[in-house]
Structure 1
């Protein structure tokens, strides 16, 4: 440093921002929220920053870069490190503890996102977006045997009944993918149900006929799943789900240990639109009645 050089006693906001690695806009925001006291202005009406201002600004930048929220930084300066013991809730120690918890949650979310991306690359973009519980159930299927409509159904089931419900339902699509005769029968029943449009009356004989066909098909599908041993894998999915979602005293059958932020079954069903005609809805009711009668007869 040349002997004649004299450092400035105060600097303008632009120089202060450049030195601290910040911006004038950010510094003005610090003033607005009470994080950095606003210094006196010079004769030209501009702020002038001295040594203590710069020290505080540098600490603010260090803390902000560490991920500490500006409000917490302000509280830390207000409380003071001397008043913040190791067990302090409102001091530096408490702030850092909360920050560490937040970062841990963020790390878990990043891991979840990376796992989803890996599944998308391995299993295909659509199937990979389903939960790992579901994609694990669908592994090994012949290429092209899983239809887009199957994935759509699993996506909706995940939302309403959780990934566990979708994983169990995936057994159905595994059976259809590995049994061409069942797939063909499924297509026939699906087409018959779709034909029950608004032009068909609720008491039309075709409604009861299709309901009987659906009931017979579901029985055949269930029998194949049992005989082929596909249902045996469902226990493993229940065990994996229970391990990841331990039951609590507040849990009941209605909530099925939903994940945070999810809807109840009742809420989800009421918000998911289906363009079903009255005849098709009646067909669903008749199918349910046939299933209930069969259960009673075997009880």
Structure 2
């Protein structure tokens, strides 16, 4: 059964390394902000992609390892609740070891302050699994690791089988295949997020172009501000936007010609013996009449 793991710890604790190792062994997936930042156009987009991927973690049908920092207990608890994590693992690598790692990796000490701040803010949660890679114990929370080295959620090693027995051999994945599958799935998530972002941007530009065309056409027909407001409040822009997000100027022009011929110039009170019609209702009625004639 697949699980979602929340991995937390200070910068340089080895979270990404641990997540990559576990995912390679189980055929899982890693969701790490740094992976998205490497391909996203900006930090805000990378953060949005990460949040979207975390929200879909349980849909992947594989073990998912979500990498975060999250020093405070309440922040980890809130994140675990949001992503419905099956287990929270905190890597309690000492500040000295973490600083040495980031200095070697980044070539500077720019993250040393963040490491100190993490340890100042750190508080433990009951039920979390803690792991240290430098031989130091957690000063606040007792580790959930049993003395025999087997975790609570792991099964005891299977007894050795007799070489003479005819045991069925189970095929194993070739080296690197699990990592390749993980990279493919991660790329699919990124591609989907990019496509969604492009669609949103295209729609926004299409609406801007529609409003520009509408304002220019209304000005050319000498419609007053009230008439333009009426059109903008009653028309559905998507009725005049093509599938490629271009504006159907021919359809818009034909509609405005109809609107200009029928719309009263001074008021919408109606003729003698008729019921007064509000401006918005009239605009909607004219739009519906036009679109119905065109076969909507």
TM-score (norm 1): 0.30
Instruction: Indicate the structure with greater helix content.
Output: 1
More strand, by proportion: 2
Higher RCO (Cα < 8 Å, 6 or more apart) = 2
TM-score, length-normalised on structure 2?
A: 0.30
